[in-house]
Chains A and B, each alone.
Chain A
Amino acid sequence: MSGKNAPYELPIGPIHPSLKEPVNFTFKMNGEVIEKVDFSPGRSHRGIEWMGMRRNPVQILHLCDRICGICGVAHALVFAQAVETIADVNVPDRAYYVRTIIAEFERIQSHLLWAGVAAHELGFDTLFYLAWQIREESVDVIEYITGNRVNYGIMMVGGTRRDITPDMFPRLEQALQYYEGLFEKMVNLFLNDKTIAMRCKNTGILTKRRALELATVGPTSRASGLAMDVRVDSPYAAYGDLDIDIILPEVYSSETIGDVYDRIVVRIFEVKQSIDIIRQCMKQMPEGPVLAEEKYAKLLLNLKKASGETFARVEAPRGEDMHYLRMNGKQEAPEMWKVKASTYSNQMAWVEILQGEQIADIPIIVASIDPCMSCTDRVAVVNQEGDAGILTKEYLHRLSVEKTRRMEL
């Protein structure tokens, strides 16, 4: 402690039990109350974009699975969509439904994983064990469908690599019924518990206006009352054919505050929504193939010829994932590939929602936006002193200008 005079500095991170991934927070504290927040990401950069720009699109697709361990299929799906748009691939309708089903199972397991982590951050380990035990069922189903528990490897440019046949439906239905049966219990445990309500209500408030100004996405923005969901706003895969409502905290509480509690409400009820979506998909699934081009060599040849640029976006469990892709028709590898993960949009909300809160609430507030640092980190700077320092806007602009000059030569 740097003297008895307030404010003193409390570092949290880069490695800390409450942080599941490395990120460094510095808090200026006055007693137990936070006066000022600063954070510096950039501790788990892996250079996936750099790797991608030296590979062909199908290889990148499987690299996308590895961007995030939890929402792997979201990144693969959004990249496949980007490539399909550029190369004009006609994806069979059935593949859209398979993609939707797997994406929704992924949402269930991601939200349950988050619920467990949130309970642990609150010091409520029983609920953490329960949530993760329940989560196993969705992971089992994902393994049943794709053959893998994580890094599913089911996406393909032009469809999916595996089909979900009608004889697999009973297993899926069994999982859905399992979750339906547990839903009331989960609502009761997470939303009616006294200690959770005490810790989460009116904690880490993000107002609707600030949520909009900070361009937050996904459950974080919906919990603040912003009705935005890529699945509804610009439908992809099979979502256009389905009946989906945007989940807002009003489904459970009478008013929207935008606190941690509302974020729990949104995520818990999105699990229920996912069950409904999967049911609809199984009912409406059309017959037909799941892959546009079976021959790998021919597919690669077509992709090599493709040129153009595009944005694609999907609603990952954590919020909107967006990929920008540019291909020039001369080389296999894309000319430019940019991944924007949902945490990139949500992380600036930390500065807002941690202000004026207590030390005790740091873990749950940090976790409440469901951060994924390794999806987000794009740069790691280490100079000779080993100090990352701060990169100013002017410095980055100069670097960009220099790079453009080099490319023109």
Chain B
Amino acid sequence: MSSFLITLAGVVLVTIFGIVAGLFLMGVDRIFAARMQMRQGPPLIQPFIDIRKLLCKDSVVPENAVPTLFNAAPIVAFASAVTVLFYLPLGSILPVGTPLPMVGEYGDLILIMYLLTVPALAMVAGGFASGSPYASVGAQREMVTMIAYEFPLAIAIIAIAWRLAVAGIAMPFSVNTLAANPIWTVAGPLGIIGCILLLIVLIWVTPAELSRVPCDTPEAETELCGGLLVEYSGRNLALFSLSMAAKLVAMAGLSVLLFLPWNLSPLIGLTGIGAAGVDLVFFLLKVIVVMFFSVSLVRVIMARFRINTLVSIYWGWLTTIGLIGMLLIILDGTISIGGCL
């Protein structure tokens, strides 16, 4: 019973953290982008203000929409985006053990990968349920985008886990294993080059996963006036915004987990609550750095892709880069096995 209560409290806390951190990151991203575009930009709390306002507004359901699906989609999207956070280490707070004993230990990278697709699928369902040509086109584009970026993402995750397995580490897909064994310390020189290539792939997958410029084709303001989200308003739109915010934390957190899992507290020598706090702040800093390079910078320096260009870039270029990275890691792994023998 008490473990159930702890889990419940953990779920609530992580959800609140996800929302607050996500909206905060969005505010930071907007300020980054604005400064790079020679603008002042909105205040840091603008996303919070927007959400509060959206929550006060009516949710309009269009006449030719499918109401149940239309209303369910934002809830599913938000729930799944937040669920990803339960399985990600937030600083030194690892999912297995504290704070979610009943949820965390069953999750690993494969689950995270699948959970990350659920918000997008929910948006597609909501888009088709809107009964608007703009939303339909947007939903079709979102599906195509998903097909395009899933493969490079899978390559990156599997290659890293495989290298850990070769190094003789048990449960390579487990989040705790990844957090404890940074890939850079495990891989040899070839593997490190491979990892850098995979990092590039992951940085490029992030804007596609989050539907940001140059991969905002499903929403494309000037083409589809918001695409998938065109018919959404009020509470439903607020939920979608929150799921985007949580997904931003999740995606950046995934990059941090795979490539920058270090913590600050062992260096300072802190333990307990203090260590968790310091590491959480450090985690947020790492997330901001990842977000700056994979979201803010990319969206400032590029124009929107056409959907066919997007597919050819992700399937052609990024998959090739990912495969080369994976090949290097495999070579590195084989050499290390040879060395051991």
Taking Cβ atoms with an 8 Å cutoff, the residues of A that contact B are 1, 8-11, 16-18, 32, 119-127, 129-130, 133, 193, 195-196, 198-199, 358-363
Q: A residues within 8 A CB of B225?
A: 16-17
B306 pairs with A17, CB closer than 8 A: no
B308–A358 touching, CB < 8 Å: yes
Interface segment out of the listed B145-153, B252-260, B297-305, B327-335:
B297-305
Q: Is the CB of A360 within 8 A of B300?
A: no
Query: B226 CB to closest chain A CB, in angstroms?
Result: 8
Closest residue on chain A to residue B34 by CB atoms: A129
Query: What is the chain B residue whose CB lies nearest that of A199?
Result: B303
Give complex CA distance A133, B40 in Å: 13
Query: How far apart sit A129 and B224, CA to CA, in the bound complex (Å)?
Result: 22
Pairs across A and B, CB under 8 Å, 23 listed: A1-B132, A10-B134, A10-B137, A32-B137, A32-B307, A119-B303, A122-B303, A123-B214, A123-B220, A123-B221, A124-B304, A125-B300, A126-B36, A129-B38, A193-B303, A195-B302, A195-B303, A195-B304, A196-B303, A198-B306, A359-B223, A360-B307, A362-B223
B214 touches A195 (CB 8 A): yes
Q: A198-B309, A360-B307 are in contact. Are A17 and B222 (CB under 8 A)?
A: yes
The interface residues of chain A lying within 8 Å CB-to-CB of B38 are: 129-130, 133
Q: B residues within 8 A CB of A32?
A: 137, 307-308
Residues 106-136 of chain B: 1 if any A CB is under 8 Å from the residue's CB, otherwise 0? 0000000000000000000000000111101
Q: Contacts of A126 on B, CB cut-off 8 Å?
A: 36-37, 300-301
Q: Does B217 contact A (CB under 8 A)?
A: yes
B216 on interface, CB distance cutoff 8 Å: yes
Collect the chain A residues with CB atoms within 8 Å of residue B217's CB: 360
Contacts of A120 in B (CB 8 A): 222
Q: How far is the CA of A127 from the CA of B137 in the complex (A)?
A: 27
B288 close to chain A: CB less than 8 A: no
CA–CA, A193 to B303, complex, Å?
Answer: 9
B213 touches A (CB below 8 Å): yes
**Contact at B306–A361, with CB atoms within 8 Å?**
yes
Looking at the complex, which one of A1, A9, A129 makes contact with B39 (CB distance below 8 Å)?
Answer: A129
Other than the given A358-B306, A359-B224, 20 more pairs (CB < 8 A) read A1-B132, A1-B136, A10-B133, A11-B133, A32-B308, A119-B303, A123-B216, A123-B220, A123-B304, A124-B304, A126-B301, A127-B303, A129-B38, A129-B39, A133-B38, A193-B303, A198-B306, A359-B223, A360-B220, A363-B222
Given B133, B223, B306, which contacts A18 in the complex, CB threshold below 8 Å?
A: B223
Once A10-B133, A363-B223 are accepted as A-B contacts, the answer to whether A129 and B37 lie under 8 Å apart by CB is yes
CA distance A121 to B225 in the complex (A): 11
Most buried by B among A11, A120, A195: A195
B221 to chain A, nearest CB (A): 5
The answer to whether A195 touches B305, judged by C-beta atoms less than 8 angstroms apart, is yes
* Residues A124 and B303 in contact, CB atoms below 8 Å apart: yes
CB distance from A37 to the nearest CB of B (A): 15
Which of chain B's residues have a CB closer than 8 A to the CB of A360? 217, 220, 223, 304, 306-307
Q: Which residue of chain B is the closest to A27 with respect to CB atoms? A: B133
Contacts of A363 in B (CB 8 A): 222-223
Q: Would you list the 4 A-B pairs with minimal beta carbon distance, nearest first? A: A123-B304, A124-B303, A195-B303, A18-B222
| Of A16, A32, A198, most B-chain CB atoms within 10 Å | A32
- Give A32 to B218 CA distance when docked, in angstroms: 12
List the A side residues contacting B303 at CB < 8 Å.
Answer: 119, 122-124, 127, 193, 195-196, 199
Q: How far is the CB of A131 from chain B (nearest CB, A)?
A: 11
Complexed CA–CA distance, A130 and B137 (Å): 31
Contacts of B304 in A (CB 8 A): 122-124, 195, 199, 360
B window 221-253: CB within 8 A of A: 221-225
Chain B residues with CB under 8 Å of A18's CB are: 222-223
Q: Which residues of B contact A130 (CB under 8 A)?
A: 37-38
What's the nearest-Cβ distance from chain B to residue A339, in Å?
30
Q: Tell me the smallest distance from the CB of B216 to a CB of chain A, in Å.
A: 7
- Centre residue among B38, B136, B224, B303 by max chain A CB count within 10 A: B303
Chain A residues positioned under 8 Å from B301 (CB to CB): 126
In the docked arrangement, what's the CA distance between A198 and B313, Å? 12
The CA-CA distance from A199 to B132 in the complex, in Å, is 26
Distance in Å from the Cβ of B127 to the closest Cβ of chain A?
A: 11
Residues of A within 8 A of B221 (CB): 17, 123
Interchain CA distance A405-B309 in the complex, whole Å: 60
Contacts of A198 in B (CB 8 A): 305-306, 309
Q: A361–B136 Cα gap in the complex (Å)?
A: 18
A124 touches B302 (CB 8 A): yes
- Give Cα A88–Cα B237 distance, bound, in whole angstroms: 65
